[in-house]
């Protein structure tokens, strides 16, 4: 027996929605959207990406309910989830939509629905595990991140620094960034007493994607002057440190 509703009609597939458009559409069809906490709505103002999944469905004797999980990824790396309940209250009636910020409130609302418990021949429970929204590895700050990427790449002196594809992407869509120092250094660098520092510059893009550039600062130059190099991966950066140290060992 197939589930008697059309999922494709629920989420229009023609063109991807922005996080703002998706939230506006959800709140516009929900009868109780005014009950959502103001703080939740304010947090969603900085959403970068969103994901929606069918969480569960129940159909019995012409009555039905579905619950959907809507999750937004925010600029600070956290996530906000809203739960949508879709149901009809009488045979043949139009579906009604409700939205909740708390899963316990969703369960309480679901328990109030008039779904007959004694019609097993027509009951079709469906459970779908939603796709997880990837959580960022960093805590980002929104502080002119595109300009930070520009300055970082400008001071890089190595010929094999990140190419135009990464540069263009960062300068156009970098929304937030974080700088952290990576510990550990090549053994040869320690043997010759050279000064090496390795930093990860992590960038959060407007589509939720994360890109890291790895900066090597060192004095492994013929005259001992300070030099900056930038690489697209940690492995490439550490390999460059090893090569630099080996040349002066």
pLDDT, tens digit (0-9, with 9 covering 90-100), for 171-198: 888 888 888 887 654 444 444 456 788 8
Which of the four pLDDT bands, split at 50, 70 and 90, describes residue 248? low
Q: What is the pTM of this model?
A: 0.47
Q: What is the DSSP secondary structure assignment for residue 210, as one 8-state letter?
A: E
- The domains of the chain are located at 7-127, 145-248
Q: What is the pLDDT of residue 136?
A: 52
Tell me the two tokens of residue 115: 């779904």
Percent of the chain with pLDDT over 90: 24
Side by side, which strands form the sheet with 126-127?
96-100, 79-87, 63-74, 47-60, 126-127
Residue 58: what are its φ and ψ, rounded to 5°?
A: -145, 125
- Percent with pLDDT over 70 in the chain: 77
Q: What pLDDT does residue 129 have?
A: 45
Distances (CA, A) of 62 to 36, 92, 100: 30, 7, 25
For 39, the token pair is 């703080």
- Residues 220-238 pLDDT 10s: 777 778 889 999 999 999 8
Q: Comparing 94 with 90, which gets the higher pLDDT? A: 94
Between 238 and 139, where is the model more confident? Answer: 238
């Amino acid at each position: 027996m197939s589930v008697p509703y059309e999922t494709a009609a629920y989420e229009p597939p023609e063109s991807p929605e922005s996080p703002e458009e998706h939230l506006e559409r959800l709140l516009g069809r929900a009868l109780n959207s005014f009950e959502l906490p103001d703080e939740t709505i304010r947090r969603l103002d900085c959403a970068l990406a969103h994901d929606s999944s069918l969480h569960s469905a129940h159909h019995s004797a012409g009555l039905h309910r579905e619950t959907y999980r809507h999750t937004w990824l925010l600029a600070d790396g956290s996530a906000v989830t809203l739960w949508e309940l879709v149901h009809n209250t009488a045979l043949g009636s139009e579906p009604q939509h409700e939205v909740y910020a708390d899963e316990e409130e969703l369960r309480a609302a679901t328990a109030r629905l008039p779904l007959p418990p004694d019609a097993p021949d027509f009951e079709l429970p469906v459970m779908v595990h939603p796709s997880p929204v990837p959580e960022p590895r960093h805590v980002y700050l929104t502080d002119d991140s595109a300009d930070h990427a520009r300055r970082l790449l400008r001071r890089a002196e190595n010929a094999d620094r990140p190419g135009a594809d990464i540069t263009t992407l960062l300068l156009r869509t970098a929304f937030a960034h974080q700088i952290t120092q990576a510990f550990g250094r090549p053994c040869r660098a320690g043997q010759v007493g050279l000064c090496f520092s390795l930093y990860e510059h992590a960038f959060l893009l407007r589509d939720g994607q994360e890109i890291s550039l790895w900066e090597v600062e060192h004095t492994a130059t013929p005259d001992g002057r300070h030099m900056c190099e930038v690489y697209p991966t940690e492995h490439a950066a550490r390999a460059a440190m090893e090569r630099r140290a080996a040349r002066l060992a």
